[in-house]
Amino acid sequence: MTASPEARAKRRTLELHAKGNPITYEQVLAEMLERDENDSTRKTAPAIPAADAVFLDNSDLTAEETVVAAIAIIREKITV
């Protein structure tokens, strides 16, 4: 599962604001981009998708829509 950095930062900003943390979207996005870069380029166990990974981009999906899309992918894979 993946989402654009912008979508992820927006979600995280809303989550942090709900917890009383007034961090800005721009700060969350910058920190997220830095963490993504560090995670994907580290020497030991870099966070990169497997060659046979199936991607589900939920940037513009609700939680419910994400579940429906994931179930559709699973059903497609088990009926092949």
Q: What is the pLDDT of residues 1-48, one digit of tens each?
A: 999 999 999 999 999 999 999 999 999 999 999 999 999 999 999 999
Buried b (16+ CB within 10 A) or exposed e, 19-47: eeeeeeeeebbeebeeeeeeeeeeeeeee
Q: Whole-model pTM?
A: 0.83
What integer pLDDT is reported at residue 80 of this predicted model?
64
Domain boundaries, the chain: 5-78
